[in-house]
Amino acid sequence: MSVTAPAGFEAAGVVAGLKSTGKPDVAVVVNRGPRKIGAAVFTSNRAKANPIIWSQQVIADRVVEAVVLNSGGANCFTGSFGFQTTHQTAEKAAELLGVSAGDVLVCSTGLIGTGDDVFRAKVLDGTAQAIAALSADGGDLAAQAIMTTDTVAKTAVVSRDGWSIGGMAKGAGMLAPGLATMLVVITTDADLEALEADSALRAATGRTFDRLDSDGCMSTNDQVTLLANGASGVKPDIEEFTAALVELSQELAVKLQGDAEGASHDITIEVRHAVSEKDAVEVGRSVARNNLFKAAIFGNDPNWGRVLAAIGTTGAQFDPYDVDVWMNGVRVCTAGGPDRPREEVDLTPRATHLLIDLRIGEATATILTNDLTHDYVHENSAYAS
């Protein structure tokens, strides 16, 4: 049920004809209250799609009634026509729901730089269809409607004593920090204040979605939204809520990693004993973005020299000649030199674990990435055709 698992939320996903597959491509998620709290984080890319520009204005007062999402077109770099399309989408939803357009978030995903009157008409018609189909069982169809190159819908639910959190996500390519190319909607029936929701969401995304770095390419349309309505009547401890939100966000992030375009290995890069968490993240990300390392993993080659070469480009504090590296449980490098034979490392499983021990501090961080494959290059060489 994903986003409709918590009480007081309805959703729908419908076929509007934006995609040639005949599958759902417009989704609506509605908060029925009693509270209408909203929080969101957006791509840090300076090149932002029209729905991002609109939604950043909507979220300013932290009141959100509904979210309208479409796949099959990013509505980015489409000029004033594109922003008008986003505005009209919010107005259409507001009219049918009896709310203010200024309380309706809009999200889009798909090909950049395309959009015409036909696209607009299909989005508006799909919005109307989805609102007519809203139900407390509509979460799964909504999750399907936001898929682009995704092969599976991605949903998660975390329940606690008397309240719950539900979420849906999409993303398979352009997965890099600044939220990765993802649309995520998270709902909760916990009773939160607006600032609590905002704080919890930023803490969760910073530790989960922002540490998914599959291919180093940042999208223009990234948005993670949290809707809270207090329908459970339970006001949780904010630390407990944040921990639950981190748990749900991590589950969705791992599902995004597992469905990355063309990937044959899901790589978990764990950095230990850094001076600071910032250093640990920087070191992990340097390896996640190193194409030589990623190509080696694709070829099942435990080339740990590429790991040291990558982390040596960072500004993190450590001695490159006092670093240990483990691959799938085998220490292949110790104190900057060879340790166990490479032949002992089995890289044939899809799940791949890289441990980098900087041996200088107490901080740790984990980055999620994938290998660089022929299939990834092929899929992205023909994305617009």
CA distance 219 to 91: 26
Q: Which residues, 6 or more positions from 243, have their beta carbon under 8 angstroms from its beta carbon?
A: none
The phi and psi torsions of 42 (rounded to 5 degrees) equal -125, 165
Q: Tell me: cis bond preceding 51? Omega within 30 of 0 counts.
A: no
Distance separating alpha carbons of residues 264 and 373, to the nearest angstrom:
7
Count of C-beta atoms within a 10 Å radius of residue 346: 13
d(CA 210, CA 180): 7
Indicate which residues carry an active-site annotation.
Answer: 181
- Could you identify the residue written with the tokens 């968490």? 277
- Taking Cα atoms as reference points, which of 310, 316, 312, 309 lies closest to residue 363? 316
